Amino acid sequence: MKVTQEILPDSQVGLEIEIGPDVTQKTYDQTVRKFMRTARIPGFRKGKVPPQVVIQRFGRTQLKAAALEELVQNTIDQAIEREKIDAIGNYQLKSSFEKLVESYEPGQILTFSATVDVPPRVTLTAYKELTVQAEEVKSDPAKVENVLADYQQNLATLVPVEDRAAQSGDIAVVDFVGKLTKDEGEPEEFPGGSAEDFQIEIEPGRFIEGFVEGLVGMEPDTVKELSLSFPESYPQEDLAGKPVVFTITLKELKEKELPDLDDDFAQEVSEFETLEELRASLEKRYTEEAENQTKVNRDTALLDALVENLEAELPVTLVQREVDHLVTQTAMQLGNQGLDIKKFLTKEIVENMRERAKPDAIARLQRTLALGEVAKQESIELEAEAIESRKAEILADIEDVQDIDMDRLNEIVREDLLKDKILDWLAGQNTVEYVPEGTLSVDESDEADATDASDAAVEPAADDAQSDLSQATVDAVAETVESEAIASPDSAASESDEAEAD
């Protein structure tokens, strides 16, 4: 066997393989004997079919195709091993298989071409003495007061109101009937547009625009008509943009009575004995979150700078693997959120997920390659003690460690620690200029992301697996599923009155 290599773009190696006549004949003969052993032909016992009968029954072309498949696979495997090619994924046959079958003659030389993906050839043009900018996040004292205010709202007592009109912040109990208006004929009620004894907080954004606002100023036991319109973007197409008249009866009015901010309050909403201790805990929490987010911003800036100086062609195989990884994580998260992924993740949706995940997959691979090259150039390694210490910390918080894949845990811990060590090293070798939060977020999408991050700070931190997910992909699937659910008569019938009128 003669092998000629060629370096190709996208981290591929081209192989031109010439197979000697003895091998082409031997493989064909072995294929015929295999058919002789397994063929079931009337008039012959299994394993006793003569070769000429096998050839006549299956045809020489089919036998050559079967022999060629084995010949190509075996010789490529041998070529990769002999040439010491670090191949990833399967090979891609460049020669037309049909034409190879036509030209293949047992006992004669056979030449064909194939490509294999190999690890990217990585070059970092610079990774030291760089200057990057990162936003410095500072803890906002108002967050503590906002959280305490939310706790107060959750513990609020509803007190009946009888001596005044409805105002913002009240809780109203109403009956309402919604009717779609038409150019001709009487208005008609629509499914889900009516309710009795419906309780709603008088705050903007609860229903379509104008509904909640129209309750302000109403007295108990009074009736009011509101002429409104569903927004053009309303998810139910048969209602989107349509004019509607709601007849509303205000039956009861209540206001919230908030508990006092004192030690008793602190004991009810937390494990702390005093309000002072609760405040201190919240302040510490938000200070640590701000410091952690500042570090995340620093690391992101350093990684972006590395990628800008990265030269690496990503093989298709690696990109596909990373896409598969992200899609699998997304499906797992959707499943954890209660979605029946077997029902909703159709072939079209999965393909949409894969397409959306591709940019994230490429970006993740680029960052990983850049960090790996820094570690390689600077001989940055981990101590075994550090890995074991981090694993012990993680396992201490897990009740049933028997279900843990220790090999996978070891891999994750090692990757995280090594990433942190490389980034800390880079921070010491480069200049990080810290700028005020919001300085680098100049467009609306960035501002929206910053708002989401701020809101998320009140919630428990997501686990590492979920934090790796592409949120855009998750949101896209959720939107698709939501639109399908709204379009389904069965699901629409099961929705609450609030969901229908909202």
Average pLDDT, the chain: 85
What CA–CA distance (Å, rounded) separates 111 from 99? Answer: 12
Q: Are strands 123-124 and 310-311 parallel, antiparallel or unpaired?
A: antiparallel
pLDDT for residue 183: 77
Q: Is the pLDDT of residue 67 over 90?
A: yes
Site of tokens 């779609």:
180
307-353 pLDDT tens trace: 999 999 888 888 999 999 999 988 888 888 877 877 778 888 889 99
List of residues 6+ apart from 270 with CB closer than 8 A: 278, 281
- Site of tokens 């960090």: 371
Q: Do domains 2-119 and 157-257 have the same CATH topology?
A: no
pLDDT at 378 (0 to 100): 96
Q: How confident is the model at residue 402 (pLDDT cuts 50, 70, 90)?
A: confident
Residue 362: pLDDT above 90? yes
Nearest to 86 by CA among 16, 1, 5, 2: 5
Q: Comparing 22-36, 268-282, 329-343, which segment has the lowest mean pLDDT?
A: 329-343
CA distance 405 to 152: 43
Is residue 219 classed as helix, strand or coil in its secondary structure? coil
- Count of positions (residues) in the chain: 502
Q: Is the pLDDT of residue 409 over 70?
A: yes
327: nearest Cα among 474, 465, 463: 474
Of 235, 239, 240, the closest CA to residue 484 belongs to: 235
407-425: average pLDDT:
93
**Phi, psi at residue 431, to the nearest 5°?**
-100, 120
**Residue predicted with more confidence, 316 or 267:** 267
Lowest mean pLDDT among 35-49, 100-114, 245-259, 313-327: 35-49
Question: Do 53 and 41 meet the contact criterion of CB atoms below 8 Å apart?
Answer: yes
474 vs 389: which has the higher pLDDT: 389
Q: Quick one: tokens of 187?
A: 């208005």
Which whole number is the average pLDDT over 154-180? 93
CATH number 3.40.50.10490 is the correct assignment for the domain at 2-119: no
Under 8 Å CB-to-CB from 378, ≥6 apart: which residues? 425
Give residue 451's pLDDT band: very low, low, confident or very high (50, 70, 90). very low
Whether the pLDDT of residue 356 is over 50: the answer is yes
For residue 337, give the nearest of 436, 474, 203 by alpha carbon.
474
Burial of 46 (0-12, 13-18, 19+ CB in 10 A): exposed
Q: Any idea which of 161-165, 172-176, 424-428, 453-457 has the lowest mean pLDDT?
A: 453-457
DSSP code for 420: H
| CA 130 – CA 281 distance, rounded (Å) | 38
Stretch 37-50: mean pLDDT: 79
Mean per-residue pLDDT, 219-238: 92
Answer whether residue 61 shows pLDDT above 80: yes
> Residue 349's pLDDT is what?
87
pLDDT at 22: 95
User: Is pLDDT above 60 for 462?
Assistant: no
Spacing of C-alpha 313 from chain mean position: 24
Question: Under 8 Å CB-to-CB from 16, ≥6 apart: which residues?
Answer: 3, 4, 6, 111, 112, 113
pLDDT at 107: 94
Spatial CA neighbour of 249 closest among 227, 220, 226: 220
pLDDT at 186: 85
What's at 3, amino acid-wise?
V
Average pLDDT, integer, range 441-448: 49
- Written as six digits, the tokens of 101 are 């079958």
Asked if 294 and 434 touch (Cβ cutoff 8 Å), the reply is: yes
> What are the pLDDT digits (tens) for 428-437?
999 999 999 9
Residue 490 has a pLDDT of: 35
Q: Is the pLDDT of residue 485 over 60?
A: no
Q: What is the mean pLDDT of residues 191-218?
A: 91
Per-residue model confidence (pLDDT) at position 358:
94
Question: What contacts 43, CB < 8 A, 6 or more positions away?
Answer: none
Number of alpha helices (DSSP H) and beta strands (DSSP E) in the chain = 17, 13
What residue ranges do the domains of the chain occupy? Answer: 2-119, 157-257
Confidence tier at 467 by pLDDT (50, 70, 90): very low
CATH class of 157-257: alpha beta
pLDDT value at 466 more than 70: no
